[in-house]
Chain A
């Protein structure tokens, strides 16, 4: 691994981390189920991933910067699982089901949204 690859990953992960912390500390509102910040982070990350997949860049450094650095640090799987675990501990099974379906459906919808928007604009 050369020096440029390391620098690209570092820059991407810095931006991802700062953006996630910013969203975590500033957005506390209610949508559908009672709201958790990892939902908005994961949905936004899926939107970006859709745009990225539709563009399908071949430059290796761009993949390192955006896919591994930025999106990897921005999206978080473990806090999604932690939220589900927390709901099981509190025995709120209906909220658990709503949250689970909500995250998966919303992130897939936004993924396809980003994908098709980019495909339309590309042509």
Chain B
């Protein structure tokens, strides 16, 4: 891991963190992150850029703990059936959005 890689990935992660803080909505953030991730994985780019975009931007932008926190609040309110549907709905929706991003970026090139 060299110094240049590290500085770039830190700057990208800061940008992603402030974007997440500004949007302040876990649902929208996860959908945008999945779409970007789908766009990135279909492109044939170098390993360096791929690592920065996936591991730096997308991973810092989306957060798993926000997702768990929403589920925790649903448990506290006692909506167990709603919890089950919401959980599967979010994961399947994100998979579909990622596939759409994948296809769109394939079609562009």
Residue from B54, B63, B102 within 8 A of A77 (CB atoms)? B63
**Secondary structure at chain A's binding surface: helix, strand, loop or mixed?**
helix
Residue contact A75 to B64, C-beta cutoff 8 Å = yes
User: In the assembled complex, how far is the CB of residue B54 from the closest CB belonging to chain A, in whole angstroms?
Assistant: 7
Residue from A45, A73, A111 within 8 A of B13 (CB atoms)? A73
- Inter-chain CA distance A24–B13, complex, in Å, is 16
Provide the residues of chain A in CB contact with B18, threshold 8 Å: 9
Q: For this complex, into which size category does the number of interface residues on chain B fall?
A: 35 or more
Which of B38, B64, B87 is the most central at the interface, judged by chain A CB atoms within 10 Å of its CB?
Answer: B64
Q: Does B10 contact A (CB under 8 A)?
A: yes
Residue contact B72 to A111, C-beta cutoff 8 Å = yes
Q: Does B103 contact A (CB under 8 A)?
A: no
How many chain A residues touch the partner (CB < 8 A)? 39
Q: Does B86 contact A (CB under 8 A)?
A: no
Nearest A residue to B37, CB-CB? A78
Residue contact B95 to A76, C-beta cutoff 8 Å = no
Residue contact B87 to A10, C-beta cutoff 8 Å = no
Q: Does A98 contact B (CB under 8 A)?
A: no
Residue contact B60 to A77, C-beta cutoff 8 Å = no
Nearest B residue to A45, CB-CB? B65
CB-CB under 8 A for A72 and B20, given A77-B30, A78-B59, A100-B91: yes
- Inter-chain CA distance A88–B96, complex, in Å, is 12
User: In the assembled complex, how far is the CB of residue B11 from the closest CB belonging to chain A, in whole angstroms?
Assistant: 11
Q: Does B82 contact A (CB under 8 A)?
A: no
Which of A73, A78, A85, A104 is the most central at the interface, judged by chain B CB atoms within 10 Å of its CB?
Answer: A78
Residue contact B21 to A53, C-beta cutoff 8 Å = no
Q: Does B89 contact A (CB under 8 A)?
A: no
Provide the residues of chain B in CB contact with A72, threshold 8 Å: 17, 20, 60, 63, 65-66
Residue ranges of B at the interface with A (Cβ–Cβ < 8 Å): 1, 9-10, 13-14, 16-18, 20-21, 30, 33-34, 36-38, 41, 54-56, 58-69, 71-72, 87, 91, 94-95, 98-99, 102
